[in-house]
Amino acid sequence: MAPARAVQISIDEELLARIDEDPEARLHGRSAFVRSALRRYLQAKERARIDDALRAAYGGRADEALADIEPLIESQAWPEE
């Protein structure tokens, strides 16, 4: 993993309070919590992009094809970035 770089972001008070209440944030700190959340978000976006590409490739049978390969996709280890 590349060295961390400090960046400044703005977070509203309500969201910051929710982060601070989370056990993961308390255990590992805010920065680790935010990094983890961003990784999961980006992985979910990539997964959605792949799903959309499959739907486009398989036309009307996309959901059927996706159901066929769902166990395969779920069993894969996604790299930590």
Query: Among 19, 54, 47, 44, which residue's Cα sits nearest to residue 34?
Result: 19
Q: Which two tokens stand for residue 8?
A: 């400044």
Domain boundaries, the chain: 13-75
Tens of each residue's pLDDT in the chain, 81 residues: 688 899 999 999 999 999 999 999 999 999 999 999 999 999 999 999 988 887 787 776 767 777 877 887 777 766 665
